[in-house]
Amino acid sequence: MIDVTERRDALLATAAGTAGVAGSYLVTGWSPAFVVRPVDQAIVNLTPGPIVTFMIENVGDAGHLIHIAMAFAAVIGLFAAVAFAGLQLSARTESSPVGAAATGLASWLLAAGLTGGPTQALGVALPAAVAVAIGGLPPDASEPSSPDPASGDGSSVAVDSTKAVDAVRRRTLGVVAATFGFVVTAVIGRRLPDADGDDTLADAPRSEGATERLREVGAASLAVESDGLLGMVSPIGEFYNVDIAEFDPEVTAAEWSLTFTGETGGERTVAFDELTDRPVEHRAVTLRCVGEDLNGRKLDNAVWTGTPIRPLLESVDPQGDCNCAMLRGEDGYYVQFPVDVLADGFLAWGMNGKELPPGHGHPVRVLIPGHWGETNVKWLSEIELLNVEEDGYWEERGWEGTGEVKTVAKLWDEGITELDDGRIELAGHAYAGTRGIERVEVSTDGGDSWTDAALSDPLPDADVWRQWRHVFDPDGTSEVVVRAVDGEGNRQIREPSDPSPTGASGWVRRTVG
């Protein structure tokens, strides 16, 4: 049976756990030292593949919210359990400082153990201990009972039991309210750092030529009436993001290195300065996630500053029997694909002229021409040459996304614009990896007849999207269908399929007007 005291203690303990998590956030912000991160990471590692795939296909980005909510609930629950035990101890010893000290110590040990940061763990321990210290005070200690006019002389201050219960209730609500205030303070005090905005990012090393390339690639953008449609270059803050974890690893350029391991003629470690001293290029490279819907938004293009992998790879003399390599990132991500594919890759330390943002792999990521987004490992730390093929993170979860991208032509909402003269402008992007886009065909009658769209000028870059535009005179509502033809003359696959396991196929269809 749960009595009133236990219910009150559970409420106080939840408040203490919440205050602990808020305190941690106040101290660390949304960084790897935040106490929720290790639990989030554990959820990432332990969630079975079919569930991950189901979430991606059915709840999409909301899956991230569910995932982070679970991590928060688990961590608050953990510290609430500690605080609950602390409150019991206070009651048993009739000393709130004893329970508070025990709560503080146990929370500190737990937080330090989880995050490996003993100093920052105080951010959890102190607020939790304070909540237990106040919440666990005996009923008569906090409220000096005001002289009761009705009781006459007021000489003997006998603690009236209903008054004591009221006092405890008021104090409990006070702790809950103070916790709420503390959470708000922590959130406002910190705010989610806009890690991917480019205003705080420094220029990338050796990025002088990037500005010129950005201008060139941007200048290829089609003139469209639509406002809000991306041009040829996605700004850093708008470039899509796919991560297995909710927390970006924090790796400084000074700390970073890339090691070639496994079946090599000799292991080699490359430091950041050594990398950026190598021959530099500024390449426009488009990325697309295998998990996105046919007309999804996980398709973007940037100008990346970096250096080709091939000479580095040749210098370690790969010898594995499978001609394959496992790439690993600092977040625990890994993906395996052929060495020949890797050899065409690019090690990037700059994005649109800026240093690589935290969310896109700071300080170094790999870019693999023409292959699905998942091959482009961020926060790259190791390239292991293998003897036998092994599954990567997503392949273990049922995806087959290490191959070449499928061809797609997009028609997003903002690409549909009614012009002043009543005609309708259709505009979007098309991508076929290294095969390139040769043509985009548009139908406004549900696929009975087709017209070639105007295309943006081709660029010298090997793996970049093109923009398309078509203007037509509507006659009531129109069934618009778009499809691309790649540089090898192959038309985009007509047969619709889900994203899992090899990427969505079909033609984008929209009713317009």
Ligand X SMILES: Nc1nc2c(c(=O)[nH]1)N[C@H]1C(S)=C(S)[C@@H](COP(=O)(O)O)O[C@H]1N2
**Residues at the site binding ligand X, with contacts judged by CB under 6 A:** 239-244, 287, 289, 329, 331, 333, 360, 373-374, 376-379
Could you give the 3-state DSSP secondary structure of residue 305?
strand
Nearer to Mo ion, 374 or 395 (CB): 374
Nearer to Mo ion, 242 or 482 (CB): 242
Q: Apex CA 88: angle with CA 85 and CA 89, to 5°? A: 90
Beta-carbon contacts of 497 under 8 Å, excluding residues fewer than 6 positions away, are 504, 505, 506
**Residue 227 CB-density burial (10 A; 0-12 exposed, 13-18 middle, 19+ buried):** exposed
Q: How far is the CB of 304 from ligand X (least distance, A)?
A: 10
Work out the end-to-end distance of the chain between its first and last CA atoms, rounded to an integer number of angstroms: 63
Residues 393-412 contacting Mo ion, CB under 5 A: none
Structure tokens given for 310 = 């091939």
Nearer to Mo ion, 289 or 430 (CB): 289
Q: How far is the CB of 292 from ligand X (least distance, A)?
A: 8
Secondary structure element (H or E) that encloses residue 214, with its range:
helix 208-219
Structure tokens given for 421 = 């003269």
366 binds, among ligand X, Mo ion, none (CB under 5 to 8 A by kind): none
Nearer to ligand X, 362 or 483 (CB): 362
Q: How far is the CB of 190 from ligand X (least distance, A)?
A: 23
Nearer to ligand X, 34 or 304 (CB): 304
Please report how the helices 4-28 and 122-135 are oriented relative to each other, as an axis angle in degrees rounded to 10.
Answer: 150
Nearer to ligand X, 360 or 410 (CB): 360
C-alpha to C-alpha distance for 33 and 22, rounded to whole angstroms: 13
Q: How far is the CB of 501 from Mo ion (least distance, A)?
A: 12
Structure tokens given for 473 = 């005179």
Which of 248, 374, 382, 395: binder of Mo ion (CB under 5 A)? 374
Q: How far is the CB of 284 from ligand X (least distance, A)?
A: 15
Interface characters, 50-89, with Mo ion (x: CB under 5 A): ----------------------------------------
Stretch that binds Mo ion, among 274-282, 369-377, 446-454, 466-474 (CB under 5 A): 369-377
Q: How far is the CB of 266 from ligand X (least distance, A)?
A: 26
C-alpha to C-alpha distance for 391 and 44, rounded to whole angstroms: 17
377 near Mo ion, judged by CB under 5 A: no
441 binds, among Mo ion, ligand X, none (CB under 5 to 8 A by kind): none
C-alpha to C-alpha distance for 300 and 241, rounded to whole angstroms: 10
Q: How far is the CB of 235 from ligand X (least distance, A)?
A: 13
Cα torsion 501, 502, 507, 508: sign? positive
Q: How many residues bind Mo ion (CB under 5 A)?
A: 4
Could you give the 3-state DSSP secondary structure of residue 182?
helix
Structure tokens given for 253 = 């350029």
Residue whose structure tokens are 């756990």? 17
Residues 101-160 contacting Mo ion, CB under 5 A: none
Q: How far is the CB of 373 from Mo ion (least distance, A)?
A: 4
Q: How far is the CB of 381 from ligand X (least distance, A)?
A: 9
Is the CB of residue 254 less than 8 Å from the CB of residue 272? Answer: yes
379 binds, among Mo ion, ligand X, none (CB under 5 to 8 A by kind): ligand X
Which of 106, 220, 289, 367: binder of Mo ion (CB under 5 A)? 289
373 near Mo ion, judged by CB under 5 A: yes
Interface characters, 208-247, with Mo ion (x: CB under 5 A): ----------------------------------x-----
Q: Which of 187, 138, 139, 137 is nearest to 163 (CA)?
A: 139
Cα torsion 161, 166, 169, 175: sign? negative
Residue whose structure tokens are 């098309």? 430
Phi/psi at 463 (nearest 5 deg)?
-135, 65
Is the CB of residue 422 less than 8 Å from the CB of residue 450? Answer: no
Interface characters, 310-349, with Mo ion (x: CB under 5 A): ----------------------------------------
Residues in touch with Mo ion (CB under 5 A):
242, 289, 373-374
